[in-house]
A and B are shown apart, each in its own frame.
Chain A
Amino acid sequence: MSRTLKIALGVLLIAIFIVGPADLTGFGIPWTGLKRYGTYILTLWLVTAVAAMGVNLIVGYAGQETLAQAAFLGIGAFTTTLLQKAGLPFGLCFIASGLVCFLVGIILGFPALRVQKHYLAFVTLAFSVFVWLVIRNEEWLTGGVNGIQGIKRPVLFGISLRPALYYYWLVLTLTAVLTGMMWWLLRSPWGRAFTALRENSVRAESLGIDVRGYTLMAFAIGSGYGGFAGAMYAPLVEFIDPSPFALGASLQYLLMVVAGGAGSFVGPFVGAAVSVLLPEWLRFAEGFYLIIFALLVMLLMAFCPTGIVGLFERLTTKARRPHADDKGPTLGTGTGSTTVAGSKS
Chain B
Amino acid sequence: MYLKSTVAAVLAAAAWAMPASAQDNTLKIPGVLELSGAGAISGTNFRDGIVMAIEDINAAGGVLGKKLVFETVDTASDPGKARAAIQRALDDKPTVIFGPVFSGSVNATLPMTNEAQIPQIIGGEAANITSQGSKYIFRTSFGQNVSMPKIANYLRDGVKAKSLAIVYVNNDFGKGGRNAIMKELESRGIKVAADLSIEAGQADFAADVVKVKAASADAVFVYLNEEESARFLIEAKKQGLDKPLIGETTLLGQKVIDLAKEAANGVKGHVGLTIDAPSPLVAEFAKKFEAKFKYKPDHNGMKGYLGAYMFKTAAEKAGKLDPVAIAAAMHGLTVTPDKVPGILIEATWDDTGEIDRISYLAEVKDGKQVITQTLPKLK
A residues neighboring B (CB under 8 Å): 1, 6, 9-10, 13, 16-17, 20, 32, 34-38, 40-42, 44-45, 136, 144-147, 149-150, 237-241, 243-244, 265-266, 269-270, 273, 277, 280-281, 283, 286-287, 289-290, 308-309, 312-313, 316, 342-345
Q: Does B216 have its Cβ within 8 Å of any Cβ on chain A? A: no
B75 to chain A, nearest CB (A): 10
User: Across the interface, which residues of B come within 8 angstroms of A266, CB to CB?
Assistant: 1-2, 5-6
Determine whether the beta carbon of B4 is less than 8 Å from that of A37.
no
Determine whether the beta carbon of A145 is less than 8 Å from that of B1.
no
For chain B, residues 1 to 47, give those with C-beta under 8 angstroms from any C-beta of chain A. 1-7, 9-10, 12-14, 16-17, 19, 35-36
User: Across the interface, which residues of A come within 8 angstroms of B172, CB to CB?
Assistant: 145-146
Determine whether the beta carbon of A20 is less than 8 Å from that of B79.
no
- Interchain CB contact (< 8 A) of A17 among B5, B10, B12, B79: B10
User: Across the interface, which residues of A come within 8 angstroms of B77, CB to CB?
Assistant: 243
Determine whether the beta carbon of B5 is less than 8 Å from that of A239.
no
Q: Does B368 have its Cβ within 8 Å of any Cβ on chain A? A: no
A241, B74: Cα distance in complex, Å: 18
**10 pairs from A and B in contact (CB 8 Å cutoff):** A35-B19, A36-B87, A36-B90, A37-B84, A42-B13, A286-B72, A308-B5, A309-B5, A316-B1, A343-B1
Closest residue to B132 on the A side, CB-wise? A149
Determine whether the beta carbon of A146 is less than 8 Å from that of B107.
yes
A286, B35: Cα distance in complex, Å: 9
Determine whether the beta carbon of B1 is less than 8 Å from that of A313.
yes
Given contacts A239-B108, A273-B13, contact A147 B3 (CB under 8 A): no
User: Across the interface, which residues of A come within 8 angstroms of B35, CB to CB?
Assistant: 286-287
Q: Does B170 have its Cβ within 8 Å of any Cβ on chain A? A: yes
User: Across the interface, which residues of A come within 8 angstroms of B99, CB to CB?
Assistant: none
Given contacts A16-B10, A265-B2, contact A283 B73 (CB under 8 A): yes
User: Across the interface, which residues of B come within 8 angstroms of A312, CB to CB?
Assistant: 1, 4-5
Interface centre among B2, B83, B175 (most CB of A within 10 A): B2
Given contacts A36-B87, A37-B91, A312-B4, contact A13 B9 (CB under 8 A): no
- Interchain CB contact (< 8 A) of B84 among A40, A241, A269, A286: A40
For chain B, residues 140 to 196, give those with C-beta under 8 angstroms from any C-beta of chain A. 170-172, 175
B171 to chain A, nearest CB (A): 5
Determine whether the beta carbon of A136 is less than 8 Å from that of B170.
yes
Determine whether the beta carbon of B84 is less than 8 Å from that of A41.
yes
A41, B35: Cα distance in complex, Å: 20
Determine whether the beta carbon of B16 is less than 8 Å from that of A149.
no
User: Across the interface, which residues of B come within 8 angstroms of A283, CB to CB?
Assistant: 73
Determine whether the beta carbon of A239 is less than 8 Å from that of B83.
yes
Known: A273-B12, A277-B13. 10 other contacts (CB 8 A): A1-B3, A34-B17, A35-B19, A37-B90, A37-B91, A145-B104, A239-B83, A244-B80, A281-B16, A309-B1
B311 to chain A, nearest CB (A): 23
User: Across the interface, which residues of B come within 8 angstroms of A41, CB to CB?
Assistant: 13, 17, 84
- Interchain CB contact (< 8 A) of A269 among B4, B9, B108: B9
A164, B171: Cα distance in complex, Å: 30
- Interchain CB contact (< 8 A) of B108 among A35, A241, A280, A281: A241
Closest residue to B174 on the A side, CB-wise? A145
Determine whether the beta carbon of B175 is less than 8 Å from that of A144.
yes
Determine whether the beta carbon of B80 is less than 8 Å from that of A13.
no
- Interchain CB contact (< 8 A) of A243 among B2, B12, B78, B88: B78
Given contacts A34-B17, A37-B88, A145-B104, contact A244 B78 (CB under 8 A): yes
B224 to chain A, nearest CB (A): 14
A345, B175: Cα distance in complex, Å: 53
User: Across the interface, which residues of B come within 8 angstroms of A273, CB to CB?
Assistant: 9, 12-13
- Interchain CB contact (< 8 A) of B79 among A6, A144, A241: A241
A6, B4: Cα distance in complex, Å: 10
A45, B171: Cα distance in complex, Å: 28
A290, B5: Cα distance in complex, Å: 24
- Interchain CB contact (< 8 A) of B170 among A36, A42, A145, A150: A145
Q: Does B266 have its Cβ within 8 Å of any Cβ on chain A? A: no
Determine whether the beta carbon of B87 is less than 8 Å from that of A149.
no
Q: Does B367 have its Cβ within 8 Å of any Cβ on chain A? A: no
Q: Does B341 have its Cβ within 8 Å of any Cβ on chain A? A: no
Interface centre among B16, B17, B77, B87 (most CB of A within 10 A): B17
Determine whether the beta carbon of B171 is less than 8 Å from that of A20.
no
Closest residue to B112 on the A side, CB-wise? A238
Determine whether the beta carbon of A237 is less than 8 Å from that of B10.
no
A262 to chain B, nearest CB (A): 15
Given contacts A266-B2, A269-B6, A342-B1, contact A239 B87 (CB under 8 A): no
